[in-house]
Structure 1
Amino acid sequence: MGLTSNKVLVLAAFFAVLLFIGTVWLWPRLARRNWRAVGGRVALLLATQVAIFASIGVAANQAFGFYASWADLFGRESGQGVVVDHNAGGGSGGGPLQMLGTQPVNVTGGGRPQLGGQIQKVGIVGRTTHIATRAYVYLPPEYFQPQYRTRTFPAAVVLTGYPGTAEALIKGLHYPQTAHELAKNGQVQPMILVMLRPTVAPPRDTECVDVPGGPQTESFFAKDLPDAVLAHYRVGRKPGSWGIVGDSTGGYCALKLAMHHPKVYAAGAGLSPYYKAPLDPTTGDLFRGDKGLRNRADLFWYLKNMPAPDTSLLVSSSRIGEANYQNTLKFMEQVKAKRLTRVSSIILDSGGHNFNTWRREIPGTLQWISGRLSDR
């Protein structure tokens, strides 16, 4: 049973309840003052607390998508996300994107793609970076309707935070459901969503940086991912057809990629983002002493020292509950000083760094990005 399965959650809760009842039932028998009775009480209390915390942890993981598997939880994920292709043509018996399965969208009529759209699970292999990862692609109902068979659609890459799981974008943040409802009501245009986590070389947090001698994560998102999607789906090929959205780490990545690669991403939205790549045990040494690379990953430095990118940016924060509020105001002021770069914001009165806050911001974010993308 997988870490995110409902069976694991039910079993964890069942054992917690069972141990609680057992503790209450057996406590009178362990009321003596000998070492066996004391040891029994300690063992029961410890087991009950462990079971309760385990069930809470499993529930929280399902709600917020911290870890995708047991191996991911214990830092033993075997798939390192790097594939070296030695063929002269760069191929390995298939395209850069392979479909692994499909699932319906959790909306009315979701069982029929023509009514509810479809979510496709895919494997992507970067042609230039050799990074391999999995993603989910949401296709709107129009993609399957005969009258739109020759139409191309705008695409938005959607990123989780770190560690995060791509499934959380569907089950926890409801991106496909929200996009479907907004399009149905005429508030956004039909869009393709490419949903994945920025951790494409797990378990390392590469912060969407081209690590010297390591994973070329920025290049994967700037070139390989769009190329793979374009080769498989009817997506607009002009720069104005692509946007990118993310929360937390994904928000930082979205802003950075839109700023560094405006000819790829016409718009970038960061929900609760930060503005400078951290260096900690999860990232390791991202820059290997390269000061230029380190400065480039600092969005404040980039705005001050590099030419203004011709792109649109959206940032979000809360006056109470978000640590990035003051930096977000500072970032907006710096962007306003640039002629070519445009900035918008979602500022809540209160809201923490969590899924509930981001669910409140996602509808506005999708409307904002839809208004800045072309389907050609």
Structure 2
Amino acid sequence: MSLTSDKVLALAVLAAVGLFVGTVWLWPRLARRRWRAVAGRVGLLLSTQLALFMAVGLAANQAFGFYASWADLFGQEKDQGVVVDHTAASGPLRVVDTRRVPGAGGLRPQVGGQIQKVDIVGRTTHIATPAFVYLPPEYFQPEYRTRTFPAAVVLTGYPGTAKALVDKLDYPRTAARLAGEGRMQPMILVMMRPTVAPPRDTECVDIPRGPQTESFFAKDLPEAVSGHYRVGGGARSWGIIGDSTGGYCALKLAMHHPGVYAVGVGLSPYYKAPIDATTGDLFQGDKELRNRANLWWYLKHMPAPDTSLLVSSSKVGESNYKDTLKFIDRVKATNRTRISSIILESGGHNFNTWRREIPGTLEWVSGRLSGR
């Protein structure tokens, strides 16, 4: 059974409850000082705590989409990664599955829109990664057959899954609802992980002698999507959104490549690439590359980019609150880069907080992009 299966979670909960009841029932019989009784008490306590830990962990993974499979959990994921494509005829983007938008109110794509699962191979970086593409109902309607649409790349955190953007954060359903209410224009969403070489966390950096992740998002991805879908030309048709690690990536890509992304949104972002066990040595001693990945350094030493940024945090529950206020002030001082914010009174670093911010985010992005 899969890691995200409801049956696995139910079994873990039943095991935890059963062990708790068993511990209460058997404790009087094990209340002696003999080694067997002591060992029995220790075994019951450890087993109960382990079962509770597993149940809570599985429930958290179901809610937040940290890991998609057992292989993903144990760092053994092998179905994605950096590959070289030797079959150019297949194209850089291939649709492998389609599904309707949950809760959109129609089975036909002309009514409810469509979600397409795609495989993307970077033409220059040769990075291969899956993604989900949301197409609004208008994309399929005859009267819009010659129209091009704005597009936004939507990134998860690390080690999140692209599927969580669809099923947990409800990006397609929210976009369909807002467009139906006239609060945003119909827009294509390209939903994926920033981790295009799992299990490594590349932080959207062009790693020397490693995955060229920034180049993939700045060049290959827009090229592949524009070549397959009716997306408007130029930066005014492209935005990028992300949460946590994805939020850092979105801000960095919009700042580094204003000619590609007219807007960048960081929901609960940080502003400097970390170096830890999940990232490895991202910069290989390259000081210039390390500096460019530091948004504080970039604002101070590089020309202010002509782009619009949105950042979010909360006064209680987010560790980035003070840094976010400082980042807003730094951007405002450039007098060129535009900055907006969503600051909640309270909200943790989790899906519930980001779901509260996504409607406003999509409206903000939509108001700054054009499909033409």
User: Which of the residues 198, 201, 204 maps onto 2:197?
Assistant: 201
Aligned to 2:37: 37
Deviation at 1:108, TM superposition (A): 4.2
Aligned to 2:252: 256
8 Å CA contact retained: 2:155, 2:194: yes
Sort the Cα spacing of 1:55 and 1:111 in 2 relative to 1 into closer, same or farther, 3 A: farther
Which amino acid counterpart does residue 46 of structure 1 have in structure 2?
Answer: L
Confirm or deny that 1:167 pairs with 2:168. Answer: no
Aligned to 1:62: 62
Rounded to whole Å, the distance in 1 between the matches of 2:151 and 2:128 is 20
- Which aligned pairs between 1:202-221 and structure 2 lie closer than 5 A? 202-221=198-217
Aligned to 2:267: 271
Confirm or deny that 1:330 pairs with 2:337. Answer: no
Aligned to 2:113: 117
Deviation at 1:275, TM superposition (A): 0.9
Rounded to whole Å, the distance in 1 between the matches of 2:355 and 2:280 is 31
For the residue of structure 2 that corresponds to 1:275, the secondary structure is coil
Deviation at 1:112, TM superposition (A): 2.6
Aligned to 2:47: 47
Confirm or deny that 1:9 pairs with 2:2. Answer: no
Deviation at 1:123, TM superposition (A): 1.0
For the residue of structure 2 that corresponds to 1:17, the secondary structure is helix
Deviation at 1:111, TM superposition (A): 2.8
Rounded to whole Å, the distance in 2 between the matches of 1:233 and 1:22 is 58
Deviation at 1:172, TM superposition (A): 1.8
- Give the TM-score of the pair, scaled to structure 2: 0.96
For the residue of structure 1 that corresponds to 2:76, the secondary structure is coil
Rounded to whole Å, the distance in 2 between the matches of 1:93 and 1:10 is 46
Rounded to whole Å, the distance in 2 between the matches of 1:58 and 1:114 is 37
Deviation at 1:27, TM superposition (A): 3.6
CA RMSD of aligned residues (A): 1.6
Which amino acid counterpart does residue 292 of structure 1 have in structure 2?
Answer: E
For the residue of structure 2 that corresponds to 1:124, the secondary structure is strand
Confirm or deny that 1:237 pairs with 2:233. Answer: yes
Sort the Cα spacing of 1:84 and 1:60 in 2 relative to 1 into closer, same or farther, 3 A: same
Rounded to whole Å, the distance in 2 between the matches of 1:16 and 1:351 is 29
Unaligned runs of 5+ in 2: none
Deviation at 1:29, TM superposition (A): 4.1
8 Å CA contact retained: 2:148, 2:230: yes
Residue correspondences, number: 372
| 1:245-273 CA-partner distances (Å, limit 9, x unpaired) | 00111111000000111111010010111
Rounded to whole Å, the distance in 2 between the matches of 1:363 and 1:141 is 18
Deviation at 1:35, TM superposition (A): 2.8
8 Å CA contact retained: 2:311, 2:340: yes
Deviation at 1:19, TM superposition (A): 2.5
User: Which of the residues 327, 330, 355 maps onto 1:359?
Assistant: 355
8 Å CA contact retained: 2:250, 2:264: yes
Which amino acid counterpart does residue 232 of structure 1 have in structure 2?
Answer: H
* Farther-moved stretch of structure 1 (92-101 vs 262-271): 92-101
Unaligned runs of 5+ in 1: none
Aligned to 1:107: 103
Deviation at 1:80, TM superposition (A): 5.1
Which amino acid counterpart does residue 346 of structure 1 have in structure 2?
Answer: I
Aligned to 2:187: 191
For the residue of structure 2 that corresponds to 1:345, the secondary structure is strand
Rounded to whole Å, the distance in 1 between the matches of 2:103 and 2:272 is 38
8 Å CA contact retained: 1:110, 1:118: no
Deviation at 1:321, TM superposition (A): 2.0
8 Å CA contact retained: 1:79, 1:202: no
Deviation at 1:82, TM superposition (A): 0.9
8 Å CA contact retained: 2:122, 2:216: yes
User: Which of the residues 128, 133, 136 maps onto 1:137?
Assistant: 133
For the residue of structure 1 that corresponds to 2:309, the secondary structure is strand
Aligned to 2:18: 18
Rounded to whole Å, the distance in 1 between the matches of 2:92 and 2:101 is 25
Rounded to whole Å, the distance in 1 between the matches of 2:141 and 2:352 is 34
Rounded to whole Å, the distance in 1 between the matches of 2:104 and 2:159 is 31
